[in-house]
Structure 1
Amino acid sequence: MKILKLVIFCILCLLISSCNRILSKDKTVKYDVDKVLNKNEPISINIWHYYSATQKEKFDRLVDNFNASEGAKYGVYVRGIRRAGNASEISSFLADALSQKLGADETPDIFSAYPDTAYDFNKQDLLLDLADFFTQKEKDEYVKSFLYSSGFGVKDEIKLFPVAKATEVFVLNKTAWKPFAEAMGVSYRDLVTWEGLVKVAELYYKWTDSLTAEPNDGKPFFGRDALSNYILTGTYELGHSIFNVLENGDVDFVLDKKSLRACWDNYYIPFVKGFFTAKGRFRADDLKTGDIIACVTSTSSSIYLPSKVINSEGNFEPVDLEVLPIPHFRNAKRKTIVQQGAGMAVLKSNIKRETASVLFLKWFTDMQKYSEFAVSTGYLPVKKKELEAEQVTAAFCSDGICILPVVQDALKVSIETMKSLDLYFQPAFKNSDKARNILADLLQEKAKEDRAKVLEKIKAGKSYKEAVTDFIGDDSFDVWLKLLEKKLLDLK
């Protein structure tokens, strides 16, 4: 009897070892859709999203398409629910649902999220790791940095499935640029670096100042959205990451003085001198009012770029916009561009609901109509094949309607620049959304406040040079840096 037990034990060990080798070699997916799902045992899954207008219409059509095709084949019915206006609101509603607050909705199976907004749910071990549901061949179809940008610090983990990504582009009012460029002898080549951009902005300020009899009334040249992206990618290009997320999920704040000074010198200094500005809610607003003639904005914001601008007489006049790659620091060790955009998170439940959720997500990013959904609002598809120029161009027009030319240009420029640049994303950590806001708000608020003080000094009779002197030295930078360090450490 003992011999028989020993033989059985050895056979089991061999079988387990063999199975482990097979799984290790083939990396078999966690589920078999044909065994888990059955059209005779239908299941409904809910998706919470924040899409609106054209994007919602296209998403709803895709959901209907899925329900009538792949969904019907496997007995899966998807309901797309616009639960809120942004990912943060969805996170708040989901927290209420999970805690079963009175009046809260039923929890969804899938929800739109950013790493920041999904961080707490991940810490509670509520998010499904989708990596086990994809073969290596399937994973290879996606842009790697898109697929693994969950932002929770675990290698090869897929907690936020990418459905559409955005980058940033440099947009120029070519109509206003042309007379200035001809008069001052500048070209697009001067806009390749941040340092070059600052010099161009100074020339533009002086040139516009010279056009009137009134002294010191030069116009700002440039503004940018998402100032935190500028600081994070800028310091990264110069060899330092401000937010260093550790394996245990904690974060170290690395405030390298030299790289932060480069960011300061190429944003704050030209801002207080009047070369840059930020007046409206977004820089597209400042382009429209004629307060600037160039900006950096997200591809997803390109749909809001103006086709007409208010001129000096207060009338709207049509303009041509040129889309260019964003500048980089002259001494960049690695040129980079930010990647951003919400993904889809799947809540842990049971194998059937999880399988149904993944079935939809796979199908969703495998359709030509999906590419049309992505580009319709300035986002990039997430699969390598769909990012080929011909594929993206084919998605620009659907149902007899084409996306705006400036949006087309923004996507084309993004795809081209992505080929030679690092795609930057910031892993999430506790209070990472607040930390990003501190980066942007502290610099922007100080720049605006000090620019206002400069104007007050000029109005009081001081020369332009005298007025800016107090703000462009080391003391002003040191005050900002110390406050930045304090604010960030207070988050820990």
Structure 2
Amino acid sequence: MLLSLVCLAAGIGGLLLRGWPSAARDPVVLTMWHNPTGHQSDALSEAVDRFNRSVGREKGIAVIVTTIAKSEILHEKLTSIALGDPGAPQAPDIVVAYPKSVAPLVARGALVAFDDYFSSKELAAYVPSFVEAGRLADGGLYVFPIGRSTEGLIVNRTFWDRFSHETGTPLTELATFEGIVRTAERYYRWTDARTPEVKGDGSAFFMVDNPFNLVQAVFAQMGEALFVDGGLNVRSPVYERVWKLLFEPAVRGHEAVYKGYGTDLAKTGALLCWTSSTAGITFMPKRVVYADNTSEPVEFELLPFPVMEGGSKVAMQRAGGFCLFRSTPARQAAAVEFLKWLTGPEENLRYVRGTGYLPVTLSAIERARETWGEGAEGIQKSYIETIGIMNRDYRFLPQSPVENYGELEIRYEGRMRRIATEARKRYRELLPMGPEEAWRAATEGAYERFLE
């Protein structure tokens, strides 16, 4: 599939380059791999097209984008390249990827750091935390920001208003994780009571799209380090606190356990809110379709990322960045030319608008605050308001550069989901003996198994 996409892209690139001025008779044709989310695919393709028809045409540079449908596939291909597997695909010039995917490539010297291509004055124009997030273990800048997202809480406002009106639950409960857990229990009982003829059919209230991101954010909120000696800080009280935060609601049915995105469940009304990348706002449905094929229009809202009670305001910084494979000086310089054009304030604003991403330069951030609110409505309006609040009040935490990040993430989330799912099934089977007795029997030794 990847090979056919590259060949197709190359054919399109050939058509694009016909008719270029003689000065660009032998252009540098760059290949780029990208795993898009939401409207980001169209946004990047449109940006590349603008570049190819303007600056690229003038300077003899053409960029061809290959879209890779799943981030897991992209990660596998990059790992294959890093390991030098016999069947590994030919490396592109550019890849948009997360630090966890490119750390093995850096270790093998396959990527080029951007430090030699940007002066300190040029780098000062970018949001400092966005730049620092792209520095890996050796301090080199290997993942350059082209757009950044963070995480927030997406809420089905139609469902919330109905629930809040009948129960008196204030929206402020959603500002903390403990408040969300309290509200989830209340919501489960409220939805269960709406069908008195069927007991125990309450609805899940919330979900966490990425539990590993959540545990990182909470550790930072509480001022502790999660990563120690190549592993996780399981001795910290915060570690067990996060476990309890996620495990008990999942077992009791107040929280959805699902290996996917909250958006999937929200489309059928299966939950009310979930933590998500801000880029997730581009996937929101306009209607909820129920199991009986009835539907109703709904509105969604983005709220700031919740905080653990007693903690400071910290949220994860998300989105991959621009990574440059080692090739020739001419190809590398051409790729940097494209990068500087894409992250220039005017073009970067155009690129990220509507994607749920933030621009990456300080001047573009300021211009976004001044102009994006004009005519915005619905979840886009709440996105602008929430991002303004978070830019002012929150610290954004970059992904850790530890080399085994991906392995730790898979292990943490896999164990959490498996143990919670098993306990949930057992809990439901034992409910006839009573909720508390069922809880104790179904969850005995669960945390110890999680720590194994």
Q: 2:273 aligns with which of 280, 291, 294?
A: 294
Does the C-alpha gap of structure 1 residues 313 and 62 become closer, same or farther in structure 2, counting only changes over 3 Å?
closer
CA distance in 1, matches of 2:295, 2:75: 41
Please give the secondary structure, in 2, of the residue aligned with 1:161: coil
- Provide, for residues 428-483 of structure 1, a one-character-per-residue CA deviation record: whole Å limited to 9, x for no partner: 3333212111111211221121111111112xx2222221133567x4323322x2
1:260 Cα deviation (Å)? 1.2
Amino acid paired to 1:277: A
- Give, in whole Å, the separation in 2 of the partners of 1:455 and 1:305: 31
**1:225 aligned onto 2:209:** yes
Residue 115 of structure 2 aligns to a residue in which SS? Answer: helix
Return closer, same or farther for 1:280/1:472 CA change in 2, 3 Å cut-off. closer
**C-alpha distance after superposition, 1:246-291 (max 9, x if no partner):** xxxx735322341012112211112212211134732112212222
Which amino acid is the alignment partner of residue 260 of structure 1? Y
Q: What does residue 480 of structure 1 align with?
A: 450
Give the corresponding residue for 1:173: 156
- TM (norm. structure 1) is 0.79
Quick one: which amino acid aligns to residue 180 of structure 1?
F
Which residues of 2 match residues 384-395 of structure 1 at below 5 A?
384-388=362-366, 390-391=367-368, 394=371
- Asked if the contact 1:218/1:274 (under 8 Å) is kept, the reply is yes
How many residue pairs end up in the alignment?
Answer: 429
Residues 1:44 and 2:29 are matched in the alignment: yes
Matched, 1:159 2:164: no
> Given residue 160 of structure 2, which amino acid in structure 1 is its aligned partner?
W
Whether 2:427 is the aligned partner of 1:454: answer yes
Distance, in Å, in 2 between the alignment partners of 1:430 and 1:177 is: 41
Amino acid across the alignment from 2:247: Y
TM-score by length of 2: 0.85
Segment drifting more, 443-452 vs 77-86: 77-86
Unaligned 5+ segments in structure 2 are: 1-22
Asked if 1:316 is matched to 2:295, the reply is: yes
Contact 1:307/1:318 (CA < 8 Å) preserved in 2? yes
The structure 2 residue matched to 1:469, chosen from 431, 440, 445, is: 440
The structure-2 alpha-carbon separation of the partners of 1:442 and 1:404, relative to structure 1 and needing over 3 Å to count, comes to farther
- Aligned counterpart, 1:61: 46
Change (3 A) 1:393 1:272: farther
Cα deviation digits, residues 162-205 of structure 1 (max 9, x gap): 11212111122222222321222211111111111111111112
Q: Which amino acid aligns with 2:166?
A: A
Unaligned runs of 5+ in 1: 1-37, 245-249, 484-492
* Contact 1:205 1:221 (8 Å CA) reproduced: yes
Distance 1:112 1:202 in 2: 40
Give the Å deviation of 1:343: 0.9
Question: In the alignment, what sits opposite 1:444?
Answer: 417
Rounded to whole Å, the distance in 2 between the matches of 1:293 and 1:359 is: 45
The 3 A distance-change label for structure 1 pair 83 and 93 is farther
- What amino acid is the match of 1:147? V
Report which of the two structures shows the higher radius of gyration computed on alpha carbons: 1
The answer on whether the counterparts of 2:52 and 2:63 sit within 8 Å (CA) in structure 1 is: no
Match 2:238 to one of 259, 271, 277: 259
After superposition, the Cα gap between the structure-2 partners of 1:99 and 1:43, relative to the gap in structure 1 and judged at 3 Å, is farther
- Summarize the Cα distance change of 1:203–1:154 in structure 2 as closer, same or farther, 3 Å threshold: same
Contact 2:301/2:383 (CA < 8 Å) preserved in 1? no
> Which residue of structure 1 lines up, in the alignment, with residue 16 of structure 2?
none
Determine the structure 2 residue equivalent to 1:242.
226
Higher mean displacement: 62-71 or 286-295: 62-71
Identity of aligned residues (%): 25
Q: Is the 8 A contact 1:62 1:370 kept in 2?
A: no
Alignment CA distance shift 1:404-1:125 (3 Å): farther
Aligned-residue CA RMSD in angstroms? Answer: 2.9
C-alpha distance in 2 between matches for 1:85 and 1:311:
28
Contact 1:205 1:219 in 2 (8 A): yes
**Would the alpha carbon gap of residues 463 and 56 (structure 1) be closer, same or farther in structure 2, given more than 3 Å must change?**
closer
